[in-house]
Structure 1
């Protein structure tokens, strides 16, 4: 058996019981390309194997050198990837945020749909953004997903819901027991510091997705 076939056999084990399209969507891969690999219509060369390892998040060598990985006990990398696949969750889109020119919104417009996102937080949810106030960071029609149980990280985005009902997405500068300091996602509005008493909720923003990822 040649190295390309060994790699394809390993890829089949990684896909497991998933449909090819489900696996491809999960890792932002081209489903037709994966099908061609599995059907033997394309060889799985060194560069392609390394690229797939990076996109799927596999230990180095899992696809590039499958025989060596097996000898070194790294077949567990396949099990690890299955766990990584399980970390994708179907999160509901809670609503449409009609963002005003100042970057705030007051309430969500009900909407339907869900997305698959890479999160371990079972309480994760998504919002769809309507408006250009946060562009180019978050474009009109795009989505953010939030992870209420994730620890906040300075320098990354957070969703802040104030006690008065106003909501916003900002970059977190710092947070302590007394106050939270935020920066606008673009250069328009600058810095904002809120007292903890002004904040009802603050959730970590796990990522931003294009509208093509919406599923109904």
Structure 2
């Protein structure tokens, strides 16, 4: 049986176009390191869920069977006239928060400072439409290009404090001294956490948990046209 790495490389032309892994991570709601392991690490990942395979096949209009892509089961090609159907069994929990969008308050704007910390303007400024069930969710407007290309000026990042942040996800970290960071959570070990720069402009930052007031998960980003008044 072929590995998931072999099957993905069979249907995607290498080298991958820029942004493919990031887009798959976003559509499947997993981290970028997870998708990288799907493509490159057979010792860590031997298969993916059929739901993730169905999402990939639909997003990239692949004429292959999700069962074959996910687990190497059955024929590679879809039967003539057949269509993709979401698998009945999945290791992905139902995303109740995605049933409908709601207004998330914009609590201010942020830009990256020269020292790697966020420079904040905390004046409330309307709402954005976003799909989340977190009642504590809020949005921040991105100013400047210090976090380009991940986040562009004028976009909004939506933060969901009620949902636990996992390694590989972007987070907003608030420190007890009042400073704030927008980083990627790399790992949590013992009494330390390590954060990675959004734009690779800074070296990894390892800080003590004692310095941290809270770590809030970044659910995603939306464009300026998502803003409502």
Of 106-115 and 139-148, the range deviating more from structure 2 = 106-115
In the alignment, is the contact (CA less than 8 A) between 1:158 and 1:172 conserved in 2? yes
User: CA RMSD, aligned part only?
Assistant: 3.0
After superposition, what is the alpha-carbon deviation per residue over 1:135-188, rounded to whole angstroms, capped at 9, x for unaligned? 111112211000111121211100011111111111111124511111001121
The normalised TM-score by structure 2 is 0.55
CA distance in 2, matches of 1:114, 1:143: 10
Counterpart of 1:28 in structure 2 is: none
Alpha-carbon distance between aligned partners in 1 of 2:137 and 2:194, rounded to the nearest angstrom: 23
User: Does residue 153 of structure 2 align to residue 127 of structure 1?
Assistant: no
CA contact under 8 A between 2:96 and 2:133: conserved in structure 1? no
Q: CA distance change for structure 1 residues 83 and 122 in 2, over 3 Å: closer, same or farther?
A: closer
Match of 1:89 in 2: 102
The answer for the alignment partner of 1:158 in structure 2 is: 171
CA distance in 2 between partners of 1:117 and 1:159 (Å): 18
| Match of residue 115 from structure 1 | 128
Unmatched runs of 5 consecutive residues or more in structure 2: 1-53, 60-80, 89-93
What CA distance in whole angstroms lies between the structure 1 residues aligned with 2:160 and 2:95?
A: 22
Answer 1 or 2: which has greater helix percent: 1
The alignment's TM-score, normalised by the length of structure 1, stands at 0.59
- Structure 1: which 5+ residue stretches go unaligned? 1-49, 56-63, 75-79
* CA distance 1:83–1:196, shift in 2 (3 Å): closer
Q: Runs of at least 4 residues of structure 1 off by over 2 A?
A: 80-86, 105-109
CA distance in 1, matches of 2:197, 2:121: 21
